[in-house]
Chains A and B, each alone.
Chain A
Amino acid sequence: MELSAYVPIIGLFGLAVGFAVVSLVAARIAGPRRANRAKLEPYECGIEPTPQPVGGGRVPVRFYLTAMMFIIFDIEVVFLIPWAVAFDQLALGGFLAVTLFIVAVTIAYVYEWRRGGLEWD
């Protein structure tokens, strides 16, 4: 592997960061500043803002479960990737191993489906 192949990526990254910072600064310089109290309220279509709950409010647990599912499947994908790249040299053995792996994860997936973990109402 050549690290030098990453230099342009870092270059583009740096350029993008510079662009973002310049636009933030430019907006600061060019834009007017006539803030008043009403402008700084959270936007809620014109009604009085709802009072913020103490501690920042709570988020439905479904989001957490979705993120958990995401991690599981992401790990699955990450293991499938080297298998797919090395597919031709692995042949049958690799395929059976991966099938077993997918079946195991699918069991968890079906269980979650049955428990209603995938429902969004």
Chain B
Amino acid sequence: MLSQAPTLADFGHDTWWVIIIKVLAAFVFGVVMTLLGVWFERRMIGWMQVRPGPNRAGPFGLLQTLADGLKMAFKEDLRPRGSDRLVFLIAPCISAVCALTALAVIPFGPIVSIFGERTPLQVTDVPVAVLVLLAVSALSVYGVVLGGWASGSPYPLLGGLRASAQMISYEVTMGLAVVTVFMLAGSMSTSEIVAAQASNPELSIGGATLAVPGWYVLLLLPTFVIFAISAVGETNRLPFDLPEAESELVAGFMTEYSSLKFALFMLSEYIHMVVASAVITTLFLAGWRAPWPVSVWDGANQGWWPLLWFMGKVVLVMFVFVWLRATLPRLRYDQFMRLGWKVLIPLALGWVLVLGGTRVAQVSDLSRSEQLWLGGAVAAVLLLAVLFWPARRQPSRPSPAEQVAARPPGSFPLPPLDLQVPPSPQARRAVAAKRTAASGRSEAEPAVKRPLEGRAGTDPEGGEQDG
């Protein structure tokens, strides 16, 4: 049964027509998953917001994205006057090409036979496959930053800069996270990482041994959390969709794009999401291997069945992406960068050290004292880091009153700083209605009226307590 699982030696020997079939299949997978992914997202968000979502084009609105895409082809292709002709043209191409190329190293399943040819259900695999994924996602920064710059327009430029700074920041976290995966798997090839998660390592707790599932989501839970967060940041999805924050930047780097160029950007965004889901599935959810209750059945990891498990897991991860979007508000840019640089990176570095120390203690059979020394050294390093960690120094910000006092003479006059939010008209009406109802009891009236006036800011003494 294990011979079904491909190893690195199984790749690179396909005949030419098998290669063509697999390449085409990966391409179609990317495009179809985009078409379905957009529909899925809109339907899911509609469902979460108690509205139907797209349901007109085709059964259940399945053809909605296709209709949108076709419509875009018939839209006018505008290029703003101040733009850079060449770069404006190739930026969306870079985005789409990078996103699609990443699909080449995703393992979809074990060795199957296509028209009598036995071949792994994966376009190709190389010893550095995960590095290829990282490199390709590093390249997709270009589409964003160049697209924003070449538009010759302020919103896209700001959006492109934000996006590129965001993507490079979260790429570091991503890279640090996968290091721990390599450490456990001992390989960077995606098919071997999937194979490494097939074994059930035995955990001994107080003499009793029990086999735990080898999925890295359990063995490397911190890595999984860090990787998942940075994958959301890397794909520019809510709550990290600052590059195209509609309320601030219209549509970010793609503001000036129209027609199919815009469609290419959208396509690459959704393929990025699909690829990110597939990578999370591969690295942490054991890829195409069947989940536990099914894996009891011997045939679960053979033939074409694994494709089903793989797709199920990918859709599950994509659902989480959509769920996040429907649930969380967008972060502010400084909060976002703080999360990346000040929280995730130290966490990832510390986790690499801790895991490395533990593994070293396991692998090299050290004596008791040596183990103690090692543990002590790691603990000392961590302790030093914590001790010397830059405390969060709150800059002593002068109060508004001090700032006003510090202004040079002759500055503009300022309105009073004790402005308070007046009560809403609704509340006013409610109080008025109450008052007319209770007009008989005149002694209750001032008690209701007094605090309202104070809140409206008409009371000169009421505002001072905040100054």
Direct contact of A and B (CB under 8 A): yes
Cβ B169 vs Cβ A66 within 8 A: yes
| 14 A–B contacts from the bound complex (CB under 8 Å) | A1-B127, A4-B12, A7-B124, A9-B101, A13-B101, A19-B100, A26-B260, A27-B75, A42-B80, A43-B255, A66-B165, A91-B364, A109-B345, A119-B334
**Beyond A19-B100, A40-B78, is A12–B26 a contact (Cβ under 8 Å)?**
yes
Nearest CB in chain A: distance from B239 CB, A:
16
In the assembled complex, which residues on chain B have CB atoms less than 8 Å from the CB atom of A32?
74-76
Contacts of A88 in B (CB 8 A): 186, 363
| Contact of A12 with B101 in the complex, beta carbons under 8 Å | yes
- CB atoms of A98 and B123 under 8 A apart: no
Q: Say whether B36 faces chain A, with CB atoms less than 8 Å apart.
A: no
Distance between Cα atoms of A16 and B140 in the complex (Å): 14
Q: Which residues from B are CB-within-8-Å of A13? A: 97, 101, 104
CB distance from A56 to the nearest CB of B (A): 9
Q: A-side interface residues toward B, CB under 8 Å? A: 1-9, 11-13, 15-17, 19-21, 23-24, 26-28, 30-35, 39-45, 49-50, 52, 57, 59, 63, 66-67, 69-70, 73-74, 76-78, 80-81, 84-85, 87-88, 91-92, 95, 98-99, 102-103, 106, 109-110, 113-114, 118-121
Q: Are B172 and A43 in contact (CB under 8 A)?
A: no
Residue from the list A9, A42, A49, A95 in contact with B104, Cβ < 8 A: A9
Question: Assuming the A-B contacts A87-B183, A95-B356, A99-B381, are A15 and B73 also in contact, with contact meaning beta carbons closer than 8 angstroms in the complex?
Answer: no
B131 CB-CB contact with A under 8 Å: yes
Flag if B77 contacts A27 (CB, 8 Å).
yes
Q: How far is the CA of A113 from the CA of B343 in the complex (A)?
A: 12
State in angstroms the CA–CA spacing of A58 and B23 once bound together: 43
Interface with A: B148-156, B301-309, B432-440, which one? B148-156
Considering the chains assembled together, what is the distance between the CA atoms of A91 and B358 in angstroms?
11
- Indicate which residue in A44, A59, A80, A109 contacts B352 across the interface (CB closer than 8 Å): A80
**A77 — nearest CB in chain B belongs to which residue?**
B175
Once the chains bind, are B123 and A12 in contact (CB under 8 Å)? yes
B132 at the binding interface (Cβ < 8 Å): yes
Segment at the A interface, from B47-55, B88-96, B224-232: B88-96
**CB-based nearest A residue for B27:** A15
Beyond A30-B73, A95-B357, A102-B352, is A20–B188 a contact (Cβ under 8 Å)?
Answer: no
Once the chains bind, are B385 and A5 in contact (CB under 8 Å)?
Answer: no
Q: Please tell me if B261 contacts chain A, counting CB pairs below 8 Å.
A: yes
Question: Quick check: B259 and A27 within 8 Å, CB to CB?
Answer: yes
Closest to A27 in B: B260
Query: A11: shortest Cβ distance to chain B, in Å?
Result: 4
